[in-house]
Amino acid sequence: MPLSKVQSGGISLSDNFAFTGTVSGAGTILQIKRNQFTGTNQVTIAADTDTVFTDLTVNITPSFTSSIIKIDCQITGEFANQGAATDCTWFFYRDTTKLSAPVVGSRNTGIKMGANISYAASNATSTPESTKYSYFDSPSSTSQITYKVGIHVSQGAYDYYLNRTVSDIDGVAYERGISFITATEIAG
At 96 the pLDDT is: 96
User: Which of 185, 181, 76, 81 lies closest to 123 in space, CA to CA?
Assistant: 81
Domain of 99: which CATH number? Answer: 2.60.120.1340
If one counts every other C-beta atom within 10 angstroms of the C-beta of residue 160, the result is 25
Q: Report if residue 9 sits inside a domain.
A: no
CB 31 within 8 A of CB 184: yes
Q: Report if residue 182 sits inside a domain.
A: yes
At 120 the pLDDT is: 53
Q: Report if residue 13 sits inside a domain.
A: no
Range of the domain at 68: 26-186
| CA gap 77, 178 in Å, rounded | 9
Q: Report if residue 104 sits inside a domain.
A: yes
Q: Report if residue 96 sits inside a domain.
A: yes
Tally of domains within the chain: 1
At 1 the pLDDT is: 41
Q: Report if residue 58 sits inside a domain.
A: yes
pLDDT, one tens digit for every residue, the chain (188 residues)? 444 444 444 444 445 444 455 656 889 999 999 999 999 999 999 888 999 999 999 999 999 999 999 999 999 998 888 777 788 899 999 999 999 999 899 888 999 987 666 555 555 677 788 899 999 999 999 999 999 999 998 878 889 999 999 989 898 888 899 999 999 999 99
| CA-to-CA separations, 20 to 1, 3, 17, 23, in angstroms, rounded | 12, 16, 10, 9
Q: Report if residue 34 sits inside a domain.
A: yes
Element (H, E) at 23: none
Q: Report if residue 14 sits inside a domain.
A: no
At 86 the pLDDT is: 80
